[in-house]
C-alpha cells in the first residue's frame, strides 16, 4: 500500500512579514506547524526558502524534499518548549567528542586521526577556551569541568532556530568541536563532514564500499549540510 500524503491545494506560496518575523502564506492562508503553532520565522531568507519548498511541491506534499520547513517546525514545536534540555544534551557531547577517542592501531588510521583531529582540538583549546583530553579506545575519559562549563555556556547562546541546526551538526558528526567550527565559520560544512568520517573512510579504503552503507552515509551527509545551512539562515537578514 502507498502511504497517504496530502495533496497540493494552493497556487502560490508567498512570504509575508508577521508578528515581528516572517511567515509563509498559501493563497493567503498562513502555514502552521504540525502542532498548529504559527510558523513565524526569524529571517526573510529562511521564510523565502520555506516558501520555495512549498511552491516546489507538485502533486502530493513530500516532506523529505522540505528540509528547511521540517527544521523550522522542529524549532518551534520541539526545541522551543525544551530549550534548556536540548542545550544540556548537546553540551554533553563535550564529554565524549568523537575526536577525543582514537584508534590504537593500525598505524595508518592512527596517523590519519592525528593529522585530521589534533589541529581542531588545539583550536578548541584556544578559540573556545575548552581544552579536551584524548585517549585510545572507547572507554570513557574525564574532561576538564571548566571546559565542559564553557562549552555549555556557548551552546546555550543559540536561539531556538540556530540550536535546531546545531543539533544536526553535533548528532550527525558526533563532535561538538566540529559543529562549533562550522557555526563560527572556521570550517566549511563539507570539510567538517569529511573530518567526522575519518574512521569510516579508512575502512572503505581498506575493504571497499558497501552500497547500503554508502546510501545511509549520503543521507546523513546531506542532513549535515542542511543543518549548517539552517544555522546560517537563522542568522541572515
Say if residue 94 is in the same domain as residue 193: yes
Say if residue 120 is in the same domain as residue 151: yes
pLDDT band (50, 70, 90) for residue 194: very high
- Would you say residue 8 has pLDDT above 90? no
Say if residue 2 is in the same domain as residue 52: yes
pLDDT confidence of residue 104 = 94
Is residue 76 included in any domain, yes or no?
no
pLDDT confidence of residue 134 = 97
Is residue 70 included in any domain, yes or no?
no
Is residue 190 included in any domain, yes or no?
yes
Say if residue 30 is in the same domain as residue 131: no
pLDDT band (50, 70, 90) for residue 109: very high
Looking at the 3D structure of the chain, how many domains does it have? Answer: 2
- Would you say residue 147 has pLDDT above 60? yes
Task: Give the CATH number, domain containing residue 47.
Answer: 3.30.2180.10
Q: Does residue 6 or residue 49 have the better pLDDT?
A: 49
Say if residue 142 is in the same domain as residue 221: yes
pLDDT confidence of residue 210 = 86
Is residue 74 included in any domain, yes or no?
no
Q: Please give the Cα distance from 115 to 98 (Å, whole number).
A: 14
- Would you say residue 100 has pLDDT above 50? yes
Is residue 198 included in any domain, yes or no?
yes
Say if residue 116 is in the same domain as residue 218: yes
Say if residue 135 is in the same domain as residue 227: yes
The residue written with cell numbers 528547511 in the block is 68
Is residue 227 included in any domain, yes or no?
yes
47-82 tens-digit pLDDT: 999 999 999 998 888 999 999 999 999 999 999 999
Residues 157-166, mean pLDDT to the nearest whole number:
98
- Would you say residue 4 has pLDDT above 70? no
pLDDT confidence of residue 5 = 59
Is residue 151 included in any domain, yes or no?
yes
Residues 122-131, mean pLDDT to the nearest whole number:
98
Ranking 3-7, 76-80, 104-108 by mean pLDDT, the lowest is 3-7
Domain span at residue 182 reads 82-235
pLDDT confidence of residue 59 = 86
3-state secondary structure the chain: CCCCCCECCCCCEEEEEECCEEEEEECCEECECCCCCECCECCHHHHHHHHHHHHHCCCECCHHHCHHHHHHHHHHHHHHHHHHHHHHHHHHHHHCCHHHEECCCCHHHHHHHHHHHHHHHHHHHHHCCCCCCCEECCCCCCCCHHHHHHHHHHHHCCCHHHHHHHHHHHHHHCCHHHHHHHHCCCCCHHHHHHHHCHHHHHHHHHHCCCHHHHHHHHHHHHHHHHHHHHHHHHHCC
- Would you say residue 3 has pLDDT above 80? no
Amino acid at each position: 500500500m502507498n502511504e497517504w500524503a496530502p495533496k497540493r491545494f494552493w497556487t502560490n506560496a508567498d512570504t509575508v512579514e508577521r508578528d515581528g518575523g516572517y511567515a509563509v502564506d498559501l493563497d493567503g492562508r498562513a502555514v502552521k506547524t504540525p502542532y498548529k503553532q504559527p510558523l513565524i520565522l526569524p529571517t526573510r531568507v529562511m521564510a523565502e526558502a520555506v516558501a520555495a519548498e512549498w511552491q516546489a511541491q507538485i502533486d502530493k506534499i513530500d516532506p523529505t524534499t522540505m528540509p528547511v520547513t521540517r527544521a523550522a517546525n522542529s524549532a518551534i514545536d520541539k526545541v522551543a518548549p525544551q530549550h534548556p534540555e536540548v542545550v544540556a544534551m548537546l553540551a554533553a557531547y563535550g564529554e565524549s567528542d568523537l575526536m577525543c577517542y582514537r584508534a590504537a592501531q593500525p598505524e595508518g588510521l592512527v596517523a590519519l586521526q592525528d593529522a585530521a583531529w589534533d589541529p581542531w582540538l588545539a583550536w578548541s583549546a584556544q578559540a573556545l577556551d575548552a581544552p579536551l583530553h584524548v585517549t585510545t579506545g572507547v572507554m570513557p575519559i574525564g574532561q576538564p569541568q571548566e571546559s565542559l562549563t564553557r562549552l555549555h555556556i556557548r551552546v546555550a547562546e543559540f536561539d531556538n532556530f540556530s540550536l535546531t541546526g546545531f543539533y544536526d551538526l553535533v548528532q550527525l558528526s558526533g563532535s561538538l568541536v566540529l559543529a562549533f567550527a562550522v557555526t563560527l565559520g572556521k570550517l566549511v560544512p563539507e570539510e567538517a563532514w569529511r573530518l567526522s568520517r575519518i574512521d569510516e573512510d579508512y575502512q572503505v579504503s581498506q575493504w571497499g564500499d558497501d552500497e547500503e552503507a554508502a546510501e545511509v552515509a549520503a543521507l546523513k551527509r546531506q542532513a549535515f549540510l542542511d543543518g549548517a545551512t539552517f544555522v546560517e539562515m537563522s542568522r541572515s537578514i
